[in-house]
Structure 1
């Protein structure tokens, strides 16, 4: 693909140096539809990034767009704080009927603010309020958000350093297979809990991602998650599952923890819950934990009614039957087959591949190679990002609605990018 160097001067002179993704994809995007984005010169890019997992149903999904336009055109409420509205009622009823009841999940639903880190902050605050304790246990290579409470339970040293102050009341423990299977699961964690001389304050809760996205696509085994749930129950700790990136069908089932057969005490959801990339998040918890006082945790934009509208349309369109889950698993097998072939072709350049559903990562042996692969993929018309503590993993997050042909096209581009890079 021949790309004319765009004029990026306004971004470089006026926008903060904190900007990130635009550095890896140096073009000016203009429109997007389905699994494609187009720059202002008309070049097409197949999108295996999907808004960092916020666009599970693709860009400008026509069904969701129609629902949104109709709502706006009839002057539906846009900003509603936590007022009762028709749009919120429709979402809550649909979410209960299509998601919670079929899975026998008893959760109350809280709208804490429009972003994932808002949902995590609310979860941590509630856990501490319920248990009357401060300490939260998280896991190595975890990522839970960029506000201070969320950073305190995030593992990445670069992101933590941005806080500028000590991040306290959080204790990291080894994630599944962090020690390469050489140590029994939770032996260190349980020993600290049992020993009154360990120095570990009794935790209020444990927060975990079933698949660590930013941490490098580290997939927890179902048996590890069940053992963690049992440990939390035995030691009076709440279990919080952060499903912000891996929920809403990303791993196959609507919630990523379903495969393990556990019922977390608290669950956070954001990113694709609106279905359209509109800001929206949920903090869900068992009814007995709902001890909030009215207004004790709030936010100006916690009632994003257009997001309720598109979220409802997404649930009705994609979660009324089991087809989305089946398709996601089938597409995942397509990626796994390609990664297996890449690993065979480049055994010295790759370490391993990992994933579930439509989230996959390919770890490169020479860590900077992953970034070079992503750069070459962009030049060839494919958007992929990297993840892991040293950005050593090529990460795939295609839309759940991607066709088999589109997925195959993107995987061919990725294979070529790897071949030409290594």
Structure 2
């Protein structure tokens, strides 16, 4: 099996959830004997890592990984610049692999990376089957403000094009699958596979609770992440004598002035992040729109209960069994959920925390994700090959 993995970045060279997903997917597929041609990008101002460096990072067996490194295009900061840059990047990928598209058994494309290829295929260009993976489909979810809605409207048409013209579409499940159906992708073209968390994040049991119950938020200061709503109810931590820990570029000036908030800033070192998470018992992720957030999976893997919202694929991860699920942008219910878990007896909260670890082991380990992905790709390629053989017989 030879797979082309197209992505706009891969960890640790580019940070982000999609980039971590690309890293783990590549590494796990290589470990399963899959040959991979990896196309990835770094920022225009960064040096492209050598093929040897990438192979070392992915622990690639000899002869099993080819790497094409590109710079992500630099554009003018004008409305629509991300779309223009993404299209340009997809065209650079097309040119880089121009003579190889038919050599692959399958093409796994993150985001817009196969956009140019899909345009060519629509006009008759021949290539291996293409599966696309858009992580969050936030452009079809509820936006927190007018600026976000305008950005969504711009993104929707090209996302629809890429989804409708791919052979298959990978979904995290839950509301993500509903969105994919609504934009015109047939049921038999949707492959539901959740995301995963690396084995070194998964613990056997949660850390014991300290004398003060601790909540944590991990994420960027983006409107869609629900920081505004969480800040608005922040007095509840003083009222319940619990602590709220903030990890990421969230600034203290935005918080209610009291001694129950701790701001750690942005943390990139995974061991340092684990250390902070391990001191907490509950993650709060009050997003307006999401795919399947890595931060929730990682917190669950460390044995935290989770308060989050009914968006994206989060309902497949969180329920009353391991936390609380509330509607987005609802401060009243957010405060109620925080108060419930703040006042919950320690043994009851421990049951929720144990369930988080159990769910990760059952559904969200990267070994499980890689096995399901490879099995799905084999089914797709077999079906398409059989169909082509039938067409050749009748032609």
User: Under a length normalisation based on structure 1, what TM-score does the superposition of the two structures give?
Assistant: 0.30
User: Under a length normalisation based on structure 2, what TM-score does the superposition of the two structures give?
Assistant: 0.31
Say which structure, 1 or 2, has more relative contact order (CA 8 Å, 6+ apart).
1
